[in-house]
Structure 1
Amino acid sequence: MKRFGRFELRALLHKSQRSMLWLVFDTHHRQEMLLMMPREKPVGEAAMLHWLKTMDTASRIHHPNLAHVVETGRVDPWPYVAYDRALGETLEERLARTGDPLPLDAAGWAAQALEGLAFAHEAGHAHRDLQLAHLVIDAGHHVRILGLEVAQDLLPPDADFNATRRAAREAAEDDVASIGLVLHRLLTGKPVLDEADLQLAMRRMQPQGQELVRLGWETPYQIPDPLRAIVNRATDRQTRQRYHLARSFWRALDGWRLAAEQDDGGPIALLKDKMQRFGHLPSTTTRLVSTAMSSAMASQHASELAALALKDMALTLELLRRVNNAMRQQGHPNSGGTVLNMQRAIAMMGLNGLEDAARALKPWPGPMNEAQANFMQSLMRRVQRAGQVAQALRPAGYDAEVVYLITLMQNLGRLLVQYHFPDDAQQIRQLMLAPEPTEDQPNPRGMTEQSAAYAVLGCDLESLGLAVARYWGLGDELQHMMHRPSQEAPVRHADGDAEILRLTCGLANELIEALGAPERKRQTAIELATRRYARALSLGLREIYDALGTLQAQAGSERGTADEENSGSERRPPGPGRVNDPRVGAAATAAPRSRLRERAEQQGGAPSEPARRGSGTAPGKDST
């Protein structure tokens, strides 16, 4: 039997370029232990003392997901650190014994490792050589990390402080990327790039090497789209797109796990908690709220009160929430559908209910700082413009207010995330930006909004909005209309009023996004959106530019107010007047209706009775 000091070496569990992990038997204490040591011995007594001092400091960090160090020592010329074998088996041993784990189990193991790693990084330590064998798991699926600081960089004592801090930060980022490779290995069932050493695989990855590491489609189990987006971001070829903090990676994984295990878990539960403390949105204009609470409003007609409420997005949502929640509590949630009309909501709640709703609102800007509040204002203006475009595009007979509110509800998740999670919203926008072009990728593309939200929050923005709609007691038909059509799938024929309204509002949102594109791509984006919806909605480019011309006229009358609200750091999204097409403007506004729309109306494409009379309920249901 080979010996290392008082330890009998029984099996070499793992060997990488920077460390070794042995299963040993301690002849003094008569028990099995895990022994880990660097592959390169410290050169000189000063280097040995530095290694032992750093290990001693790292061993004092206590966290449930960091393995407890039993002993650190030296058997000249090699230092070592010992762990209790009772902590469990390595992940390599577990995979060899039980096979590939389910995606939910794999994500749970990685999340535990990330939680311990985040704690170590925040304490100023890094691992520098994370491998599957350095994660031990017990019978209760509790994961711990072995070998913190074993593969430490042996820098000279007189090394520059800034260089040392930079090296530590880069080592921490490499640790996070290593967990991404661990999760990739668990989900695919194959070594990453056929390398047993994950650090060698990382060197072959772009941008250091030439290899691209992404999850394929031939995996032992089907991988959900959110988890796929999270793992692909962790191993992205652009380092700026990856997770830089273990805490960020953990939040995305933990959010997806909780949402997958329970319908309202993860970021949805956190969002509901924040809504209890800060409200859904802050009131944008305190003057409107104080006016709504004044006694002078008692003599006003309900239509004037409704127009006042629609000017404040927070008050609009609060009234919708209150009136629909009251209907549900009274025991007839399906008798009249979802109320989508401010005048009807105010009539049902009365002036006292309007005042209570106005008092419940949080003042602007809530917990947001100045930069976050500026972007929130910009986002609200874009949503309002989308609502105006949807009103201009709606077929004859449909209630303009209902169309505006459906467009608003399709953006509910985006608004809530920007208000309650502004840092995450900024991270999502950054991931959507295309990286710098290279020779290999001359036309790079950023992530889609859905994939970016998966990678940051663990769920998409639409799911957050739908969860809040269910929480507020809004009807199933409105929840269906809140689903924006996927831009990656063709738009089918609209059957019924609900589908017509859903597609009309979805088109309006896409057109506003197209107006925000760079000028050279703007007209192409508008035409692509028009072609997708042309057959389903019987619309042509002429109707689209008519609607954008109407928006331009409305924006011109409010330009002074909009310029005051905009800060110098936040660029206002380009208005439709900037579309590089001669048809926008007076000529487009005066143009006749397209033959496609006329032919559809001649074939009897009129809306059903509830939608014609604008009852304010979800289409297809009778009014209460």
Structure 2
Amino acid sequence: MPDFAPLSTAKRLLTGGGAQPAAVGRFELRRLLGKGAQASVWLAHDPRLQREVAIKLLPPVQGQDAAAVLEHWLREARHVGRLAHPHIVPVFEADVQGQQPYIVFEYVPGCTLAEHLERQGRCAPHDAVSLVVDVLDGLQAAHAAGIVHRDLKPSNVMVDAQRNARVMDFGLAAAVASTPDAQLASGTPAYMAPEATASMPPAPAMDIYSAALVLVELLTGRPLIHQTDTWQALYRIANDRIELPKDLGSGVDDALRAILQHALARDPAQRYASAAEFRDALQAWAAPVSASTTAGNATLDFLLRRMRHKSDFPALSDSVARIQRVASSEDDSISDLTREILKDVALTHKLLRLVNSVLFAHASQGSVSTVSRAVSLVGFNAVRNMALGLVLLEHMQDRQHAGQMREEFLRAMMAASLASELGGAAMSEESFIGALFQNLGRMLCSFYFAEEAAQIRTAVAAGTEEEAAAMQVLGLGLEDLGAGVARVWGLPETLQRCIRKPLGAPPHRPPEKGAEGLRWLARAANEVATAILQTEPQQLDARLQKLGSEWSRTLALQPQAFADATLRARQQLVALAQALELQVAPDSAAARLLRLPAPVVDAAASDELAPHELHPHATQPLTVQAPVSGPQAQAQMADVLSAGIQDVTNAMVNEGFALNDVLRMILEAMFRALGARRIVFALRDARADVLTGRFGLGEGSEAAVRSLAVPLRETADLFTAVCVRGADTLISDATEARMQERLPAWYRKGLNAPTFLLLPLQIKGRPFALIYADQERPGALAVDDKVLGLLRTLRNQAVMAFRQRT
């Protein structure tokens, strides 16, 4: 049966002609989904179960044996209807109206693999393998139930919204080893196994052969058997030895080629014994890090071992994994993200510089001195994105190769900024991350394998394609390196997939939404970034115009809108480089990324900030370090606390603030100013009349939150007395015997810090909350009167926030 082609309109919809049918059985036909030479597929409504279904109308069966043929067909259809598997589109019903058989199956929103190939072009190897693994999983379930599909092809595989492949249309399925029926077609010529052309009994090996042909088509973008004449195609399958194309795409190694040759053996006995065995071979090839699998994966394992010997890699991996884990959490992720960023002093420093730069002038409306405030102003995802980008920059510092690393970082950030602009508000954040991490393999290679990276650049300059050059030098493509590390870091599947650029020319229609659309968007942004980096200034405008034309249909953007987005991204990159004080040599390729085109004077835009203009409220970076004794340390504390007070004031005056956001800002300002080991906010539990920990920052703050429990009834211990009396208290040395006697047992067992600060919160003379901070050395917390006054101001702001919100 030929492939279905998606149709928008059709005048003659049934094989025999005639008007559009209104219903088949009880099913109300809504619209045509696809039509082939012998059958049509409709979206229909099932009024009995109130659901959408898909219905395939098969050609009427004619002749003296029609009744027997239809009975045989219904028997097979009932057998297929018992199949239930995540990678099989289930058959709900099968019946005959007049002499015309029809099948009712689940309606799966998405597209077929044939449509996917038409839109996107050839697939990257790991993507193609992932899809066919799903197909083989479904086929194995069918074979185990004694059913052979017999018509497996791209148009009979659906790709759903989660990008899972699901086998459908078992309309030609037959029981294993059953007698082929001459009146029903036994497959599509371009996807039939040699023995199927000789009318051999149905067997699983036929589906295995067809699945291998589908995989080849996904890798190359065209059918391996591409003869348009049916008899020519059948003759070639029956008589010729099918050879794999030399070009199966970048990243296809000898191991994957051998797997395909095994599945395409002419003799069924020489193929994989089952669909499961074929599936397992593909999964082993695609396994991320295993020295016992393919040569490419062994190379990745070797490179990862080399990277782990570098002191930065474990720290980098830990930072990325922690930030991403927080972003994926369903818990109080804002507090967790703030806490993770504050663990890294340099990261906090750089992030606050960025938030106070021209990049976020529209949001900050004044200086921002806390990460908590940054999150509330520019959004959780924006801060997460900045943090991930800055983590890469912070950990990939190398004086010997500093220029090259700055170039790679700026290229990646340019692509990320442009993708964010092109993706629009709905996709801005994930577009930024997707485009940034599409450069991960190149950045890792430049930093950890500097000599090899130089060899790759030399080969590229001589005309070799980058992935091919990486294979020659490293034994592994840069995409494989990036994807392998992304798996080790536990990054989401969508992000791992985005690391692999889609192959082929930009599609003429916008790609499907989700992971596929993100990959194409990231590729477009990276092509622009690379063009700016590599093109001489006098030729750049023409190159960017050409890229705008090439990508306009794929991104559903007019070339001018593409150009405007590119200019905005370039302006953002300049502002980012200024905020981070990234210096590049004037004659370097990286300098091209920071060279803006001459501005076009536009009176309507005269009030906008120029690209090089600094934000009027930009602040100098705040120093974040553990305090030391002396007036200088106290002045530093005062500066950080004063900035925090202003942050909280702005939040409470200018916005309909959230109480938790304000409390986070207060805690963070205190935490950074004091250089505390940890700080905890406790709130009264009215039923138990106990102050219990709610959230905190710093090392071990999670355990501290769980441990802190101050009873408010009159007792002799220090914590209760401080809270009831509202007495701000700093204990310089809690290890003294006299002080130990005053500390409650729950404190000595849980927190037991040698120095700590207590700031109780009261309303109408009654305690309702407590701020607790500590350090790990006696005397490490020291504050003068000015600092104490500022701490009390922040504490009083917390009380005010509670009064306004409760």
State if a TM-score over 0.5 links the two structures: no
| TM-score of the pair, normalised by structure 2 | 0.28
| TM-score of the pair, normalised by structure 1 | 0.36
Higher RCO, 1 vs 2 (CA within 8 Å, ≥6 residues apart):
1
Larger Rg: 2
